Structure 1
Amino acid sequence: MQARLEKLKSQKFLLFSLTVTGFAILIAEYIGKETAIVFANWIFVPIPGSMLILAIISAKKHGITGNHGKAWIAFTVFSACWFIAEQVWLVEELFYHEKTFPSGADFFYIVGYPAYFIFAILYLKPFKSAISKKMIILSSLVAIAVLVPDLYWTLENSTDEDQFSIILGAIYPVSDSIVLVPAIVGIRLFLGGKVNFLWTLMFVAILLEVAADTGFQYFSLDDSYYTGHPVDILFLWSYLLFSFGIYDNIKIFGNKMNSYKDRESLR
């Protein structure tokens, strides 16, 4: 009973956090573009920063042995890369007034993708008996269905860019489609009752990130994107979902090092 009350409390706090963050961005955008740019840049410090801190705590609890420990090390690398990317973006835009694409931030964003993919594969490993070939094929088809129009759209509308920028821009939809496969599999496991809701946030979060990336590309191509644009709400929500997913993991396992054997805790 106590565990259910704690989960309900966590879910309510998550909903509150998502609502407040979304309204904060919309209010800043309503005040004016310059306010939105400054506010959004600075809010991308504490929210991704919280995700990184929680990832470090989780990685420290699980150690470096076993697939679970390795999974959280990979996620910590992912969190660190994207946190650094956000700060590079902030410095280049607010202090150096430079273009944020292409920029040094892209290196860290791109390096983060394989780290997340490794995490997702290791994260799903204890449920491999519940993952069918059909599930993997369907997830891959969905990812391809997202990739093809996004990639075509990016390449078709980037003819005025230099070759490096075109290649860099194409890397994002490809990377998004790759991490989308384990994310869809993870969500499918939740729908099948294999894992609990808050654990599934680790996959819903990347789903939101892919949606945000698609929106970012669309608005960037028609020159209507700016930091603080409403599409940034999805990026922030993605970081929040990751944070709550990690926090739930920490609460479930505590100091248990044999967490992979504790399958019932995930339901």
Structure 2
Amino acid sequence: MANESSYKKTLKYLIILMVLSIIVVDLSIILIPDEHFQHAVAIISLNIAGATATGLGIIAVVRHGISGSHGKSYLFLTIGIALWFAADLGILYSYFVLHVDEFERITVLDMLWYSGYLFLILHLISIIRTIRIRNLSVTITIISAIIIGSVIVNFGDFLPLRKSFIVGGEIDVAEINDELSNFAVTILYPILDLCLIVPSIIILSNIYRDYQHSVPWVLASLSLLVNAIADTGYTIDYLNGSASALPWDLFYIADFIIMSGALYWYNKYHITDHISKKNKRNEFIN
């Protein structure tokens, strides 16, 4: 009971801190009247949030090590977040040094985001391998609902064809060919988000009774959900021919802040407990 009371107290303050951070940062950006300055502040804020999450991930890996399933899990998670942060650093460099807004174009930075998804998926798979699937029917029902909803939301905007593709009542084949690669790259994001959300649901629906372990997964899953909302919104804007960094940057900032909360919990409880047990084993052996 004492531990659970400590968990609840920490969680309360952690949630307050995360919510206040998101509100303060997002409102500070929204209230900036100048569009260019607003975008610049959003990019800087995004990178600060990304650096924080990456730093907490690195601390987790250093403290825990990479041995065992959990060690690999922390490593995959940290690499995934670091790759996303590297892509955001690329946006920062392009905007302030090259004076190019990479957010509105398909570039090599997308490969960094794609790679980040790969490692985050590996992270989720490594966690699933350590848990027992108890609620199979509930898990399947929730996953099915999410997949169907995602397909409806993301793919419902594909048709009819964008007006820019149609010239004089006929389909402009040249225009379609020019934008086909951009379209394919952009639409992959909601698909990759689904690859993150589905295993997250599997984990959440099977460890939610374990208070200590469920908290970071609730936070991490919420983080991925916020990221999915932003990707979906940006994809819809792109399909409508109005791709823009805002307001979706605000969601990505919140994504990193919430993930930082999950990593803080990992460091404070999971890894600290692991180190404590490891030290006790070493003392017993010696």
Distance (whole Å) between structure 2 residues aligned to residue 235 and residue 154 of structure 1: 24
Q: What's the counterpart of residue 233 of structure 1?
A: 250
Q: Which moved more, 1:218-227 or 1:36-45?
A: 218-227
1:178 aligned to which of 195, 213, 216 = 195
- 1:219 matched to 2:219? The reply is no
Distance 1:219 1:212, change over 3 A: same
Distance 1:136 1:259, change over 3 A: farther
Partner-residue secondary structure (3-state), 1:64: coil
Distance (whole Å) between structure 1 residues aligned to residue 276 and residue 234 of structure 2: 37
Matches within 5 A, 1:81-230: 81-98=83-100, 100=102, 101-132=105-136, 134-136=138-140, 138-147=142-151, 149-151=153-155, 153-154=157-158, 156-157=161-162, 159=165, 160=175, 161-189=178-206, 195-227=213-245, 229-230=246-247
1:218-239 deviation digits (Å, cap 9, x = unpaired): 2233344433x12322111111
Deviation for aligned residue 1:210: 0.4
In the alignment, residue 201 of structure 1 is paired with which amino acid? L
1:51 aligned to which of 47, 50, 53 = 53
Q: What's the counterpart of residue 281 of structure 2?
A: none
Distance (whole Å) between structure 2 residues aligned to residue 182 and residue 105 of structure 1: 25
Distance (whole Å) between structure 1 residues aligned to residue 277 and residue 202 of structure 2: 18
Deviation for aligned residue 1:113: 0.8
Distance 1:147 1:89, change over 3 A: farther
Q: What's the counterpart of residue 10 of structure 1?
A: 14
Distance (whole Å) between structure 2 residues aligned to residue 37 and residue 224 of structure 1: 16
Structure 1: which 5+ runs fail to align?
262-267
1:82-106 deviation digits (Å, cap 9, x = unpaired): 0011011222233323352211210
1:87-130 deviation digits (Å, cap 9, x = unpaired): 11222233323352211210100111111111112224333233
Distance (whole Å) between structure 2 residues aligned to residue 188 and residue 256 of structure 1: 24
Number of aligned residue pairs: 258
Q: Which protein shows a greater Rg?
A: 2
Deviation for aligned residue 1:191: 5.4
Distance 1:163 1:220, change over 3 A: closer
1:25 aligned to which of 12, 25, 29 = 29
Q: What's the counterpart of residue 265 of structure 1?
A: none
In the alignment, residue 165 of structure 1 is paired with which amino acid? N
With normalisation by structure 1, the TM-score equals: 0.85
2:63 aligned to which of 42, 49, 61 = 61
Matches within 5 A, 1:251-262: 251-257=268-274
Distance 1:18 1:121, change over 3 A: same
Distance (whole Å) between structure 2 residues aligned to residue 153 and residue 80 of structure 1: 32
Work out the percentage of aligned pairs sharing the same amino acid: 20
Distance 1:210 1:259, change over 3 A: farther
Distance (whole Å) between structure 2 residues aligned to residue 73 and residue 260 of structure 1: 20
